[in-house]
Structure 1
Amino acid sequence: MNSKLSFYLRIMAGLFGLFFGAGCSPTSESIKMKGSDTEVNLAVNLAEKFTKQDPDFNIAISGGGSGLGITSLLNGQADIANSSRPLSAEEIEQFKQKKIAIRTVVFAEDATAFIVHRDLPLEEIDLETLGKVLSGQLRNWSEITSVNLPINIYGRQSSSGTHSFVKKKLAIEFSTAAKEMTGNAQIIEGVKADRSGIGYVGAGYVAHDPHAVQYIKILKIKETKAGAAVSPVDPGAIKQRLYFFQRPLYQYVLSSSWEKVAPFIQFEKGAIGQSVIEAHGYYLIN
């Protein structure tokens, strides 16, 4: 898949949903998958490979955030919810109240990357400083770099699993001035065009986009000011669990849909599915 087509598929998946497979027929299986924008590009490519192998399957995919995917399960509008975070206590209770049984699949691992414009003189950042930047305590890059520019934050809306993940890991509230973008692609585009921008995206998402990395930098993260700087696109560091913002990627499946979904889950865990996961910058479960 060329880069232009890949970008088009990511945008279409996030905004309108994509449909893979043969036309609906009495013998075909239809799966609806919604949720995490971090996972949507990977899901698109897995579905594309899977439906070539088994054309009797139809897989409709859309993004919109982990929260949207989970809500879609609760409302009977999806078979699979892609999520970059675990279920909240409130969501677990909602499933219990509605007597909806689900199965949890952990199919890959991702690392959240923090990106800045390529011209910003910053290569690494420690957790304390990063928290101050994203919470709005630091408002100008001159406080930590040699340039005098106001800090512009490109983030996600509260329904995003990545938004929730970063907030919890840093124990912060995001600055009210942060721009709420609809997905990874929009954050990347924002930072590419803004010398003072900083944003957070799935490392697998940005690492698989060679065009994006010409205009942005992925910051290395230090847990303390004196600590070692670790990159989210370093497979060795991820395997050793050295990166602070690495996390599992979930798929929540309706138990009532499990029988028809199982072949796709098995494909993800098979040789072809695993190679697709690695090829797109994500990590296999250790």
Structure 2
Amino acid sequence: MKARNLMLSLAVFAMGCHGFAADKGDKNLKGEVKLDGSSTVFPIAEAAAEEFQKLYPNVRVTVGLSGTGGGFKKFSTGEIDIANASRKMKPEEAKKAQDNKVEYMELPLASDGISVVVNPANKWATQLTLAQLKEIWQPGSKVQTWKDINPAWPAEKIKLYGPGADSGTFDFFTEHVMGTARLSRNDYVASEDDNVLVTGVTKDKYAMAYFGFAYYEENQKAMNVLALAKDKTAVVPSPKTIEDGSYPLSRPLVVYVNNKAAQQRPEVKAFVSFLLKNAATLSKEVGYVPLKEAVYTDTLKKFEAATGGPAKQTH
């Protein structure tokens, strides 16, 4: 977890330098706010939690890391207040929440792009088509070596690294590359911790991995990112190509908030308001792509309207 902790520390330090949106805090506010879910959203949520607790020292904010699917399992039973997600909620997950009478709001935080990376010693592969990526990752794939993709490439076995089945990154990647969510070969090193994947690809000359853009940016000196082509033009992930959607594997990062928790517990409402007010700066500091300012403003207004007005502060 060292790399993630370093990214979080740098984000919090940067936020301290640039400043959060105005919030006087409230030392009288007490309670607990529970979040869980996506490892991709984790750096944003954890940085916000640390700064929020400086302003609201008697509110305890816990941020879990069980993957998007794992977060939704807890959220749909009312076990947590907020689910961090790197994909939209699936129909069956929404039904489970409905069955348990858990009503919620979906709030956008930022954009991200899934990066496909290789070891820096890999000088032969610079780009792939989505069709080639599908050929590599599909169940029963006959691709075992780099030569199986391109006859000019080495006849060396590809060591594959990727997210585990509870990850929103896994769901999004498989849906957009395979055409069917959760359809994937299983003979690869899987982990919900992106740093395990980073370590794997940096230590193996013939490795390939996929994970969120922020983890590539943090480790870009130790790996190469591949350009991806949906049609004819191969595009490298960057803040610009992710924002304009030209990068084929761009995706939304969101939080799901329990309506009842936000409406009845001031500490939950205060944290969500704080998160939305600072999502743009937080996202940028940890390597994601902020949304347009108007999106955050509109989202905050809708959230406040649904929960009885702006979060109150008593001193």
The alignment's TM-score, normalised by the length of structure 2, stands at 0.77
Residue equivalent to 1:62: 64
Q: Point out where structure 2 has 5 or more consecutive residues left out of the alignment.
A: 11-26, 293-315
1:219 corresponds, among 202, 206, 226, to: 226
Residue equivalent to 1:18: none
Computing the radius of gyration over CA atoms, which structure comes out larger, 1 or 2?
A: 2
2-structure distance, mates of 1:7, 1:284: 17
Residue equivalent to 2:17: none
Residue equivalent to 1:151: 158
In 2 relative to 1, CA 5–104 (structure 1 residues): closer, same or farther, beyond 3 Å? closer
Letter in 2 for 1:175: R
Shift of 1:8: 8.6
Residue by residue over 1:25-79, the C-alpha shift from the partner in whole angstroms, topping out at 9 and shown as x without a partner, is: 9842310110001111222122222223333432101111001111111233211
Matched, 1:285 2:287: no
Matched, 1:131 2:141: no
Matched, 1:229 2:231: no
Q: What aligned pairs does 1:94-133 form with structure 2 within 5 A after superposition?
A: 94-121=96-123, 122-133=125-136
1-structure distance, mates of 2:80, 2:28: 20
Shift of 1:5: 4.6
2:235 alignment partner, SS class:
coil
Residue equivalent to 1:238: 242
Residue equivalent to 1:88: 90
Matched, 1:180 2:190: yes
2-structure distance, mates of 1:157, 1:4: 18
Matched, 1:203 2:207: no
CA RMSD, 1 decimal: 2.3
Letter in 1 for 2:201: V
In 2 relative to 1, CA 202–72 (structure 1 residues): closer, same or farther, beyond 3 Å? same
CA contact under 8 A between 1:268 and 1:274: conserved in structure 2?
no
Letter in 1 for 2:271: F
Q: Point out where structure 1 has 5 or more consecutive residues left out of the alignment.
A: 11-24
CA contact under 8 A between 1:66 and 1:160: conserved in structure 2?
yes
In 2 relative to 1, CA 240–27 (structure 1 residues): closer, same or farther, beyond 3 Å? closer
Residue equivalent to 1:34: 36
Residue equivalent to 2:176: 169
Q: How many residues align?
A: 264
2-structure distance, mates of 1:5, 1:131: 33
Give the ranges of 4+ consecutive aligned residues of structure 1 lying more than 4 Å apart after TM superposition. Answer: 2-5, 7-10
CA contact under 8 A between 1:205 and 1:280: conserved in structure 2?
no
Shift of 1:80: 0.6
2-structure distance, mates of 1:64, 1:109: 20
Letter in 2 for 1:186: V
2:290 alignment partner, SS class:
coil
